[in-house]
Amino acid sequence: MEPVERLYLDALMEDPAVPGHSLRPQLLAGARARRRPAAPTAPWAEPFAGRVAAMDALLASAVDDDWSRVIVEGWTLQELVAHLAAKDGLLAASVGAPVLGPPLGATSAVGRTSDVQAYERARSPEQTRRDWRAQADALCRHLAGLSPDTPATLDGMSAAVRDHVLARCLETWVHTDDAARTARVRLPHPVPEHIHPTADLCARLLPWTMLLSGLDGSGRTVLLTLTGDGGGEWHVPLGGEGSGVLELDAWREGDGWRRADARITADVVSFCFLLGGRGDPSSFAADLSGDLSLARDVLSSAPALSGP
């Protein structure tokens, strides 16, 4: 009988076997039958489609007790899935994709989440799962015809749709991990090709998380090195000029070798989760050098954009 970990990998269209323990093995045959691969979409949106398929594979093994268990933010698993559907629907509305669920009224993440959760509470958990997956897949299919630079607005924040989709990828990844930890299931990380663009978004967000935290990094830079599969190195100007963030090779070629004010080296997955609101910045495992006060400010402000 395949473990839940293998179901997760199958959902991502991966082949390698992942060793691990089986959880509730009597449920896995049914879960395997109900899993679905990632929806077809644009290559730049595949990290999000993969996280959706991974979450769906995890939900396929859930039973009644799982759906009613509180996961995060005081939400049960069913309410958490409704929250994901709500935010996916708001992005869908911004780019002209179908919006499923209750009629679109509130356009803030908090308001739409409340509306969709109220709607889904009257439905079965399996219906909620299907509604969320249908919304995410409808968005993915629509993205296949869009340029990644298409403007989009979600919860008052305007950016290229590619960045909003990567943010949806990160949130879905984080909440999949929330649900898995509550169920005591060990899941593998995404493939490196999906981790790297997500880490790139996190690096480019650092100037904005600093500003939102009331910290002025103008004129200063940090060299961010993220280790592990999917990692890389980024030169990050901290003055709110996110377009100036470059991966290290581009920095060398475009601007010459300039000394960064501070250097931060950390695990790529842990850093993505820090930006996603998981982990304590004060105890975050990282090697710091240069201006240590600046490096600590970068880490302390990193979760500023995370939310429910």
In this chain, the answer to whether the domains covering 4-188 and 195-305 adopt an identical fold is no
* DSSP at 40: P
pTM score, whole prediction: 0.87
Tell me what pLDDT residue 160 has.
Answer: 97
Q: Is the pLDDT of residue 100 over 90?
A: yes
pLDDT-based confidence at 308, cuts 50/70/90?
Answer: confident
Q: Is the pLDDT of residue 186 over 90?
A: no
Tell me what pLDDT residue 23 has.
Answer: 41
Domain 195-305, CATH among 3.40.50.620, 3.30.460.80, 3.30.1050.10, 3.50.50.60: 3.30.1050.10
Contacts (Cβ under 8 Å, ≥6 apart) of 165: 44, 45, 47, 48, 91, 143
Question: Per-residue pLDDT averaged across 30-41, rounded?
Answer: 70
Structure tokens at 271: 């850093």
Q: Is the pLDDT of residue 14 over 90?
A: no
pLDDT-based confidence at 1, cuts 50/70/90?
Answer: very low
pLDDT-based confidence at 61, cuts 50/70/90?
Answer: confident
Burial class (CB in 10 A: 0-12, 13-18, 19+), 245: buried
Q: 3-state class of 222 per DSSP?
A: strand
263 vs 51: CA distance, rounded Å: 30
149 vs 159: CA distance, rounded Å: 8
Residue 185 near residue 23, CB atoms below 8 Å: yes
Q: Where are the domains of the chain?
A: 4-188, 195-305
Question: Per-residue pLDDT averaged across 192-219, rounded?
Answer: 95
Q: Is the pLDDT of residue 25 over 50?
A: no
Terminal alpha carbon distance of the chain: 35
Tell me what pLDDT residue 21 has.
Answer: 43
Structure tokens at 251: 């920095």
Lowest average pLDDT, out of 14-28, 79-93, 246-260, goes to 14-28
Tell me what pLDDT residue 74 has.
Answer: 96
Residue 6 near residue 18, CB atoms below 8 Å: yes
Q: Is the pLDDT of residue 167 over 70?
A: yes
- pLDDT tens for 118-134 read 999 999 999 999 999 99
Question: Per-residue pLDDT averaged across 189-216, rounded?
Answer: 96
At the topology level, CATH places domain 4-188 in: Four Helix Bundle (Hemerythrin (Met), subunit A) (1.20.120)
Question: Per-residue pLDDT averaged across 301-305, rounded?
Answer: 97
Question: Per-residue pLDDT averaged across 172-183, rounded?
Answer: 95
